[in-house]
Each structure stands twice: as structure tokens, then as C-alpha cells.
Structure 1
Amino acid sequence: MKLQKQPTLADTICDLRARKIKTTFFTQINELIDWYSIEKLIDADYSKGKSVVGKPSYSGLLLFKMCLLQSWYGLSDYEVEDRLNDSISFSYFCGMHIDEVAPDHSTLSRFRTALTKTKTFEKLFGSINAQLEAHKIIVKKGIIVDASVIETPLRPKGKTNHEVTEDRSEEEIAVKKEYAQSVDKDGTWLKKRGKYHFGFKKHHVTDDEGLVLGVLTTTGSKNEIANLEEVLETVNIDLPKDIPLKADKGYQSRKNAEILKKRNLKNHILKKAYKNKPLTNWEKKFNKLIGKTRFKVERTFGGIKRWFNGGLARYRGMAKMHTQNLMEAICYNLYRSPGIIASNCKN
């Protein structure tokens, strides 16, 4: 076990940290998570290297906590560097003395790129979720699946024809859109509810409370109906048998029914009406019952967008977008954890 840093004179003078921040969110998260195990995961894949100007290298855990702060507050690399230098609460969360200088934006960017290449963010997401499950914050009594569009500002401009996929349709149509010089080549067009979007999709598997269990990132035109099995593969820990999977009617297909049967999951996908075959009274009641909990995955997407300024691509390329989606999922689960613990104590 690593020894805690001894407080400096500056820390002592600013003892208001202990008094004013004791019951804050940052303290709760630091007490909830075993950061030592997280640091070991990071250090296995991240080499701190040597500073060419003789400055001390920064720990991977410090840089990961900066990534958390960045996602929680919707900050750029430059902004999180400035805030860490100015904010007592930020330095407290990251384990820095207030007279220490924060890592600069380029160090943070290189760290994120390095861990993206080694897929370490996937491991960190799984490790933190395992801790939340041990605390009974995540409970797998059922799962919910859905997808959300993430638009990128690096979209085509200039008049030309593009293949645009209708959301949840396997057909492609050509429409006139504009091209620009700088375009994210991993993004694609999608038509949803009559509007055109360019970018990516994030596919979530959540528990019944909306906490994220699995994340899949695809290009925007990817049809989520056809990749249910791929989405379920993102939950890299075994799910209990015979728990229900809830999803909207767009996921209803014979193939998906077989996938759920093979995985010993109950099919609670909303029933869909067809031409000359309306829903029966039983199917309407079934949909109403499932809808009472299925909306929670939509609340997850909404929470990430509202609380963390999510829903917009911050980076270029599929790999870095997947890192963004994983970090937002980690941050969402941690953000809700203190409230769930308090609720569990009341019950």
C-alpha cells in the first residue's frame, strides 16, 4: 500500500479544504473507489517517461482523474489544466498539494491517446463497474439496450450526393448535402425523424436504473437492430440467466429473439404493429408495462448530455470517440452513485 503524501505548509494554511470539502461529491467518490487497483491497471499500460527539461513525470492516476474532471465539467485539455491549478477542490480530488503545478494540456492529450491505443479505458470502465457492483450500486436484475446519435462538427459541406441511412432502416438513400475540407472520415450520415445527422452512434447496455454496463461506438449509419449481439458482447461479465432485456420496438426481429433465447435472456422488447396486423390488447398492456422502466436508458443519454455537455463529438476518429463514450459512461455511473447509496440506506 502506498503512503499518503504528508501535507505541506500550504496545505495546512488552506485547511479549509478539510472543513469545506469533507462532504462534497469528490470526497464521496474518493472514499467509494479503490484507486490503488485503478492505478495498477493504468501503470500496466502507461509509461510515464522522462521529462526532457527535468520536470517530474506525473502519475497515470492523476491524469486519469483529470480525464474524469474533464468529462464531469465539459472542459477542454487547456481548461482542465487551468482549473486544476486554480481550484482547491480539483487539486484535493486529484491528490495534489495546492502548490504543485498541474500537468499541461499536451501531457493529458498524450496520456489519453496512449490509453486509447492500449484499450485501457475499457479495462478501467470494467474495473470501476465491478467495484460499484460490489457496493450494490449496480444490480443486474434486468438490462436495457438503446442507441443515441453523436454529431460531429467535422461534417461534410459543399454540394454533392451522399448515402444516407434512414434510422433503423436497412435501405440507403442519396440526398444533396454539403462537403467541407476537414471531415471526420469515420462519421457517416443518418436520417432520423426527418432530420440529417453526421457522426457516430453510441450503443448502451444499462441496468434497470440506467447505470451503464456496456458501451459500443459505431459510425452513425450503423443499424442497431442488426448488431444487438455485438452490443451485448460489450458487457464482458456474465449476466445472470433469465433476466429480462428491454428495448424499443425497433429491435423487434426474429433474429434478435433467437439471440436472446441463446443467451438465456427474457425477451422484453416492445411489441411492434405491422400493416394489417395491429397490436392486440395484451401486447398494448405489455408495452405499457415495459415502458415504465425502458425509458431509463433514455434518461441516461439525457443525463450525460445535460450534466456533462455530452452528445457532441469532441475528438476525431472512431477510437477516440469510443474513449469519450467510455469516459462519459464512467462519469455518469460515478455521478449517480452517492445518491443510489443514500437511497439504498433508506430502504
Structure 2
Amino acid sequence: MKAPGFFDIEECLAGLSKKGDVLEHLSRTIDFELFRADLERAVPRSNGAKGGRPPFDHVLMFKVLILQAMNGLGDEAAEYFMRDRLTWKRFLGLGIADPVPDANTIWTFRQHLTKASAIKGLFERFDAALREAGYLAMSGQLLDATIVAAPKQRNTDGEKAAIKAGTIPDGWQDKPAKLRQKDRDARWTVKYSKAKPREDGQPQVDLAVPSFGYKNHVSADRAHGLIRKWLVTDAAAHDGARLPDLLDKTNTASGVWADTAYRSEKNETFMVKNGFVSQVHRKKPKGKPMPDRTRKANALKSMVRSKIEHIFAHQKGPMAAIVRTIGKARAETKIGMINLAYNMRRFMWLERKRVPA
């Protein structure tokens, strides 16, 4: 087999373009240079006085993290795909024979972003670009949270108790390698879901699914389905307690849609004082049937609120969202990149929809 020539590669890329290369369209839609200043402040670079291989460009490395977030890949897998896929090379501006960042380089770059707490600034930078493009936060906002799984920890009951109390379990201090591999910020929780009706007519029993990891708390605007605010907690954190920190005061409408987890006297008072109109689901009275009026009102609210589930479905489906890192700070960077990458894909879809056929 002869080595591929320049025109062979160009012909192959042209064929991929005809089939609809998502990354090529993403490059045309988003100016990634708008992130450069933030990235250069967050990630230090050597002046080259000590020699060594020149570092990879800041924006190139940031685009690698976007590719990871869009495809749910670890560092080793990301390195492999950069070597393997022509579409990735074109997106990154790399030639067929150019070196690619290895797994350690990707980890180090992301670690610098984590230490600089840069992900919120990068997210807000893109949000400003969305607003400049005409995508203001409009028509009210939708609040919800989803669990993002992290590597499960196998600890004894005593170790679990110490971690929950905020201390380091006995014996871990003398084992730094073990301590580095133990996530003391993530938590277990139980998620309940409705079971299918039983064929024998017996009452259905809700399914209890234990999960370990973090929660991605999100506020999305109703008009465009874009994430406007987000925060990360451990998986056991209560959703409703995050409402004041998630509400977006820049939204042009005052309506707030959320499920019953966000319904509390404290939250209702907060929304009234801050000019928001609660469309939060009402809870079923204890020991009593749900009033028909309330049930119908909740159903109407669900028609609006359910749109936020599309965000999580995309993140857990095509994006295969997962946290492979250790600790809340790193998890926040990973989940923040997932939210940012989602908004980029959403923006690309909105722009396609805007252009007349």
C-alpha cells in the first residue's frame, strides 16, 4: 500500500465534509480565539530558556477538552482519537504527520485550569458571545439537577463515617498513593424512579438505584434551551437548597419552572422578594389524594419544565457524561466543560435553524 499523498487526504476530507462533518461546522460557527486571553492567564507557559519541546497552543488544547466533553472520553482515549481521526486533526488545525498532545499533556492542561478556577470564566465568556449573537436569556428559566457518575469507592463503614465527617480515615495519611486515588468529595445517593405497571395487577414498587458521584445543577432559559447558570455539588446534596444560587436575574421573563424538590416556603419567599414568579410543582398533601386542580396545574407546568430533561438526555446520551477525576475541584472543571460543550452544540443547532432554507 502506498503512502497517502496530500491530494488523497484532501479528497478524503472533502468527502467527509459532504457527509456533514459536525466539527467542521463547529469551527465555522464558533470563534475559539475569544477564549485565548482567559486560557493564557490560567495556564502558564515556559519562556523556552530551558529548551525542550515547544508547548501546544492554548486554544488547541482547549479544543481538545471540548472534544473530550462532547464524546465522554478519558485522556488516553482522546490521544488515540487525535491520532486516528482526520476530522479531529482538521478541527485542531493539525496535519496528518503533526504531533498531538499525549494523555499527560491533556491532564496537565486541565489541571492548570482547575487550579486557576478558570472554567466559570470560560463558560461566562461564551455566554456573553451567545448574547451578542442575539440569544438572550428569555421566556423564563427551567431548573433541575442530574447525577454525574464518578468512579465508585470501596471503603469500610469506618472509612465512610470518617469521610462523611470531613476527616481522613485512619491509616490513609501514611499511604499518599492511596489517598490520591480516594475521592472524599463525591457521595452516594439513592435515586428513585417509577417502575412499569405490573401485569398481575399488584401495586408497582418504585425502583431505588444507588448512585455515586456529583450533581450538575442547571438553570436553562426557556426560549433557547441554553444553560445559563450551573453549579456542582456531591450527589447527596439537596436540589432545592441550590435554587437561590441558580436563578438567573438577567432573564427577560420572571417565570421559574422546577419540580417538587424545589418547593419550600423558604424558596417561595426568596422568589417573591426577588421578583420571580414561581411555577414550581406543588407537592401531594400527606395522607390525602392530590387535588384535581393541583394535578392539572402540575401537568401544565411539566409540559414546560420537561424541556430541561433534553439537556441531560443529550449529556448522558451522545456526550456520555462521566467524571473520571478525583475531587470536587476537578469534577467541577469536567462538568463545566460538559455544560460548555453542550451550549456550543446547542448554539450550532440554533444557528442552523436561524438560517433560511
- TM tier relative to shorter chain: 0.7 to 0.9
State the match for 2:242 in structure 1: 227
Identify the residue that residue 86 of structure 1 maps to in structure 2: 84
Shift of 1:244: 0.9
Deviation at 1:346, TM superposition (A): 5.4
Look up the match of 1:14.
9
Aligned to 2:31: 34
1:189 lines up with 2:188 in the alignment: yes
One-letter identity of the residue aligned with 2:81: R
Q: Which amino acid in the other structure matches residue 328 of structure 1?
A: I
Measure how far apart 1:342 and its partner are.
2.8
Which residue, out of 232, 240, 244, partners 1:217? Answer: 232
**Aligned equivalents of 2:152 and 2:98: distance in 1?**
37
User: Using a 3 Å threshold, how does the CA distance of structure 1 residues 239 and 11 change in structure 2: closer, same or farther?
Assistant: farther
CA RMSD between the two structures: 2.6
1:66-97: per-residue Cα shift (whole Å, max 9, x none)? 01111112222122122212322111111222
Percent identity between the aligned chains? 24
What's the offset of the Cα at 1:157?
3.6
Answer yes or no: is 1:249 the counterpart of 2:260.
yes
Tell me the equivalent position of 1:327. Answer: 337
Q: Do 1:48 and 1:58's aligned partners in 2 also have CA atoms closer than 8 Å?
A: no
Asked whether the equivalents of residues 17 and 92 of structure 1 are also in contact (C-alpha less than 8 Å), the reply is no
**Cα offset for 1:228?**
1.2
* 1:222-273 Cα distance to aligned partner (Å, 9 max, x none): 11212211233xx5xx413542110001211111112212332211101212
1:11–1:97 CA contact under 8 A, matched in 2? no
Q: Letter of the aligned partner of 2:186 in structure 1?
A: G
Q: What residue is the counterpart of 1:171 in the other structure?
A: none
| AA aligned opposite 1:332 | Y
Contact residue 313 and residue 321 of structure 1 kept, 8 A: yes
- For 2:233, the aligned partner's letter is T
Choose 196-205 or 57-66, whichever is displaced more. 196-205
CA contact (8 A) 1:242 1:264 kept: no
Corresponding residue number in structure 1 for 2:195: none
2:256 counterpart letter in structure 1? L
Could you list the per-position Cα deviations for residues 116-169 of structure 1 after superposition, in whole angstroms to 9, with x for gaps in the alignment?
111212111111222233334564222111111223223234455967xxxxxx
Q: Which has the higher contact order (CA 8 A, sep 6+)?
A: 2
Count of aligned pairs: 318
Distance, in Å, in 2 between the alignment partners of 1:248 and 1:109 is 37
Question: What is the match of residue 206 of structure 1?
Answer: 220
Q: Which amino acid letter does the alignment assign opposite residue 109 of structure 1?
A: W
Aligned partner (choices 54, 57, 67) of residue 56 of structure 1:
54
Secondary structure in 1 matching 2:212: strand
Aligned partners of 2:13 and 2:87 also within 8 Å: no
Q: Report the secondary structure of 1:307's partner residue.
A: coil
Match of 1:318 in 2: 328
* Shift in CA distance, 307/342, structure 1 to aligned 2, threshold 3 Å: same
Q: Distance in 1 between matches of 2:254 and 2:12?
A: 45
- Summarize the Cα distance change of 1:286–1:345 in structure 2 as closer, same or farther, 3 Å threshold: farther
> CA deviation digits over 1:23-77, x for unaligned, max 9?
5211221121122211122112222225766212111100000011111122221
1:108 aligned residue: 106
C-alpha contact 1:154 1:183 (8 A) present in aligned 2: no
In structure 1, the partner of 2:303 is 292
Greater Cα shift, 263-272 or 314-323:
263-272
1:262 and 2:273 equivalent?
A: yes
Matched, 1:303 2:300: no
Q: Which consecutive residues of structure 1, in runs of 5 or more, have no partner in the other structure?
A: 1-8, 164-179
* Partner of residue 196, structure 2: none
User: Equivalents in 1 of 2:6, 2:127: separation in Å?
Assistant: 32
Q: 1:159 to 1:106 in 2, by over 3 A?
A: same
> Retained in 2: the 8 A contact 1:143–1:205?
yes
Q: Unpaired runs of 5+ in structure 2?
A: 162-177, 193-207
Query: Which range moved further: 301-310 or 147-156?
Result: 147-156
Change (3 A) 1:192 1:73: closer
TM-aligned CA distance change 1:277 to 1:218, over 3 Å: same
Amino acid of the structure 1 residue aligned with 2:229: G
| CA deviation after TM superposition for structure 1 residue 18, in Å | 5.6
CA gap 1:327/1:150 in 2 versus in 1, 3 angstroms: same
Instruction: Determine the C-alpha separation between the residues in 2 that align with 1:335 and 1:288.
Output: 29
